[in-house]
Amino acid sequence: MGCALCAAIKGHRRMLIDEPLSRWIEADYLLETYSEVEKVAAMMAGEQSSGTFIAIPGETEKLKSQYAASVTALTVLEDAVTTPSFPTTGWTQEAGRRLRRARLTLRWPLTNIGASLPNLLATIAGNLFELKQVTGLKLLDLRLPDAFADAYGGPRFGIEGTRALTQVEKRPLIGTIIKPSIGLSAHDTAQLVKALCEAGIDFIKDDELQSDGIGCPFDERVKQVMQVIHHHADKTGRKVMFAFNVTGDLDQMRKRHDVLLAHGATCLMASIHSVGLTGFIELARFSQLPIHAHRNGWGYMNRHPLLGWSYIAWQKIWRLAGADHMHVNGLSNKFSEDDDSVIQSAKSCHTPLFAHKPCVAMPVFSSGQTAHVVERTYQALQSTDLIFTAGGGILGHPNGLSAGVRSLRLAWDLALAGQSVATASAHDQDLRLALEMHA
Amino acid sequence: MGCALCAAIKGHRRMLIDEPLSRWIEADYLLETYSEVEKVAAMMAGEQSSGTFIAIPGETEKLKSQYAASVTALTVLEDAVTTPSFPTTGWTQEAGRRLRRARLTLRWPLTNIGASLPNLLATIAGNLFELKQVTGLKLLDLRLPDAFADAYGGPRFGIEGTRALTQVEKRPLIGTIIKPSIGLSAHDTAQLVKALCEAGIDFIKDDELQSDGIGCPFDERVKQVMQVIHHHADKTGRKVMFAFNVTGDLDQMRKRHDVLLAHGATCLMASIHSVGLTGFIELARFSQLPIHAHRNGWGYMNRHPLLGWSYIAWQKIWRLAGADHMHVNGLSNKFSEDDDSVIQSAKSCHTPLFAHKPCVAMPVFSSGQTAHVVERTYQALQSTDLIFTAGGGILGHPNGLSAGVRSLRLAWDLALAGQSVATASAHDQDLRLALEMHA
């Protein structure tokens, strides 16, 4: 810092690292095949750019030099794989050849598609998962040139905007999900919100199953819930953030967004796999509220370790498209994901996408969360920039939901102060019962 | 027919079958688990309606009776399964319990979400693929109440509209894909289209990798290609259908649609996994042209036999949303799908969705198609309502693309007349060479 030589070297390194990337799209894959990994990698590059299954007169060397994707890295892994990750049809195992796995990188000229997220999907994740030579293929990561940063807005609120709206600093937002997921009327929901506000909650969200059914119409729910939230804010000076699920057809999402604005709501929720990419990009362009991106359906994109998308790659698409909050599951969750994967996902949301446009989103922890996992979550994440949501963990607390919220706040305060939550629980019944909920 | 009693019985049966369905959403799954299948099925129903991982005070019996999903069918399969289809974390195998598979049906009250396709996805295909009790889960099929038919347009053109625009009757449309997929300029593309028109093609499509890159800008491509197509139509009275890939952000898709209209184009193409559901629904609402729905990316949704979506279920969503043409792969394709699955997919596009609104779409066969598979395709499908596309199969024909088109037309004429294509090929060099391309 201050040294001209250091600055020059740093500048040079940046030039070497960043300059080529400004013209290339890159994606990393984990591949499994009976065939030669180098051959399959080259086939993937061909299939996803200028090639097809047979030589075509028009595919000249000049054309290839400008448009062909290339394999820029390939490392054969030494995993002992005996069973293919998924079966393949019409592919005869080559005599004596065993299953191999490799990590590889494909690179495309940006000019093939320009800075378009929808066309990016067809390019880096199009037909290649269907190749018969492939018995396992995971898209691990992707790197985009700066032109993408210029073409898309990224999160408009992100961590800072969310903190400003909720007035929560230096600790996670403590949140909850309305439960039962579906079945409460607008009035019931508002009553529950009232109790949650009084219990000290920061953030509440609709369950993704709650949308605009006749038992709890969206407009009525917003009206009644926001009345309660405003009333509470008038008394306390703090406005609880409620993420209303606007998921629906595009015209419905527009109307619901405007209803939210009219009622002074401060957040909307959308299920990314229900809305899809272009609808989400459009939502992010017109939304004047933070977007809470729910990832339900993620299992069919990722559950198999050798098929589909990694969260590392997937979250980049949605952050750039405009997601302010991204669901990442939670430690010791009720689903199948292990803790390391959850923390890696959360950290990926904190990692800048572009040097000049970081697009950092707030990770949302959820699924079976109680005070039990707070200390480990903080130790692993080493950050307070998260929304920590517990549905049953708050609403199902034996001493009621005030005790549920209190136990989580207390657990986080202890964890942030470097105290043992378990030790402290001997002195606090709410905390002790909260810990027992997960035992 | 004509018998009052028969009619009454038929009416009664319809009432029994159809009436309850008018209020329920149903989905069928193939499940694999170490746990009791009945327990996991009930957990799935709970997770996707009013339940969560812990008892919640608000989940009353009255609420459950109105909102809970239920398991309406469950058949344990006798498959001998020794290895889980995918691994699971945090789930201890119950002592002595072996892996079981079951086919089951879940049923939701329509009123939970109303007739909303995006919210349908979160309900029937939300978190449940992530449950730790699950080591395999495939969504096999779904049935929707009539309210969905009223809420969405379905294909506006379908088979009849496509035939009317192309003036092709009583045989499949013979189509091709511009290859190389990417790299031809607008001028090169138009020249190729000119040659294809002269060769007698019915249908041409952009490759899904071709969108609006600077080497072949969309507007310029449309202008030059449509000039050629109009010129050919003026001479022959037949307008070749070209499906231009409009995939992009929503505003881009609108503009591209309008460019197509202005130039008299007769079809647009959209990659469904790139565009996503709400963008596609919106596209279908404003489009005045048939929508050619490309399914690239399908591999990550379906490649594993026990994960994700079946095509039978998935195509229903997109047909109802407005797809006129649906990709189904092709026989002896370059991918991993077997022929039975391809034919089942194509037949599903022909199967009415609702009695009063069939939403029938035209299946698109592609991927390594040549004259080699024509006879088997017709014998298996028993219909001429398809688009039969060959990229390399036409453009890579040793005698040139006229010979490529001619060999396919001839093969279909022979197949439709019940003649052997192989036998006839002894008398026709183009056909013989076409058959050899796939050998």
**CB nearest B279 (choices: A56, A180, A279):** A279
How confident is the model at residue A1, as a pLDDT? Answer: 38
pLDDT at B93: 57
Q: Tell me what pLDDT residue B95 has.
A: 53
The distance of B332 to chain A (nearest Cα, Å) reads 8
Cβ atoms within 10 Å of A382's Cβ, excluding its own: 9
SS3 A31: strand
Q: Do A58 and B274 touch (CB under 8 A)?
A: no
On the 0-12 / 13-18 / 19+ scale of CB atoms within 10 A, B234 is: exposed
CB atoms within 10 A of CB A290: 26
Q: What pLDDT does residue A262 have?
A: 98
In whole angstroms, give the CA distance from residue A268 to residue A162: 12
Within 8 A of A83 by CB-CB distance, chain B residues are 83
* 3-state class (DSSP) for residue B308: strand
Say whether B436 sits in a helix, a strand or coil. Answer: helix
User: What pLDDT shows up at residue A4?
Assistant: 52
- Alpha-carbon distance B66 to B24, whole Å? 12
- pLDDT tens digits, chain A, 439 residues: what are they? 345 544 544 544 444 444 445 899 999 999 999 999 999 999 999 999 987 666 777 778 888 889 999 999 999 998 778 889 998 875 555 556 789 999 999 999 999 999 999 999 999 999 999 999 999 999 999 999 999 999 999 999 999 999 999 999 999 999 999 989 999 999 999 999 999 999 999 999 999 999 999 999 999 999 999 999 999 999 999 999 999 999 999 999 999 999 999 999 999 999 999 999 999 999 999 999 999 999 999 999 999 999 999 999 999 999 999 999 999 999 999 899 999 999 999 999 999 999 999 999 999 999 989 999 999 999 999 999 999 999 888 988 999 999 999 999 999 999 999 999 999 999 999 999 999 886 5
Span B2-49, pLDDT tens digits: 455 445 445 444 444 444 558 999 999 999 999 999 999 999 999 999
In angstroms, the CA A329 to CA A247 distance is 20
Under 8 Å CB pairs connecting chains A and B tally to 372
Nearest to A63 among B83, B180, B301 (CB): B180
Q: What is residue A2's predicted lDDT score, i.e. its pLDDT?
A: 47
Q: Which of B55, B279, B294 sits opposite A276 (nearest CB)?
A: B279
The residue among B39, B36, B20 whose CA lies nearest residue B94 is B36
Q: What is the CA radius of gyration of chain B?
A: 24
With an 8 Å Cβ cutoff, are A282 and B337 in contact?
A: no
- B285 with B274: CB under 8 angstroms? no
Residues of A in contact with B218 (CB under 8 A): none
- Using an 8 Å Cβ cutoff, are B164 and B65 in contact? no
How far apart are the CA of B414 and the nearest CA of chain A, in angstroms?
25
Per run of 10 residues, the mean pLDDT along chain B (length 439 residues) is 47 43 91 94 94 73 90 91 84 68 97 97 97 96 97 98 98 95 95 97 97 96 98 98 98 98 98 98 98 98 97 98 98 92 98 97 94 96 97 90 95 97 95 85
> Are A359 and B111 in contact, with CB atoms under 8 Å apart?
no
CB-closest option in A67, A274, A335 to B277: A274
Using CB atoms, pick whichever of A137, A212, A278 lies closest to residue B279: A278
DSSP state of B131: B
Give the closest-approach CA distance of B257 to chain A in angstroms: 15
Give the distance from residue A15's alpha carbon to the nearest chain B alpha carbon, in angstroms: 25
On chain A, the residues whose CB falls within 8 A of the CB of B271 are: 118-119, 121-122, 126
Q: Is the peptide bond before A305 cis (omega within 30 degrees of 0)?
A: no
For residue B290, give the DSSP letter. -
Interchain contact, A396 vs B114, CB within 8 Å: no
Q: Which of A30, A53, A292 is most worth mutating to test chain B (most B CB atoms within 10 A of its CB)?
A: A53
Let me know: does B32 contact B134? Beta carbons within 8 Å: yes
Torsion angle in degrees (nearest 10) through CA of A414, A416, A418, A422: 30
Q: What is the pLDDT of residues B196-229, one digit of tens each?
A: 999 999 999 999 999 999 999 999 999 999 999 9
> 3-state class of A267 per DSSP?
strand
Residue B5: exposed, middle, or buried by beta-carbon count in 10 A (0-12, 13-18, 19+)?
exposed
Give the C-alpha separation, A229 to A377, whole Å.
Answer: 29
Cβ-defined contact of B58 to A128 (cutoff 8 Å): no
CA distance A273 to B153: 21
Instruction: Name the residue of chain B whose CA is nearest to A250's CA.
Output: B278
Determine whether the interchain pair B337/A122 forms a contact, defined as Cβ–Cβ distance below 8 Å: no
Whether A368 contacts A329, CB under 8 Å: no
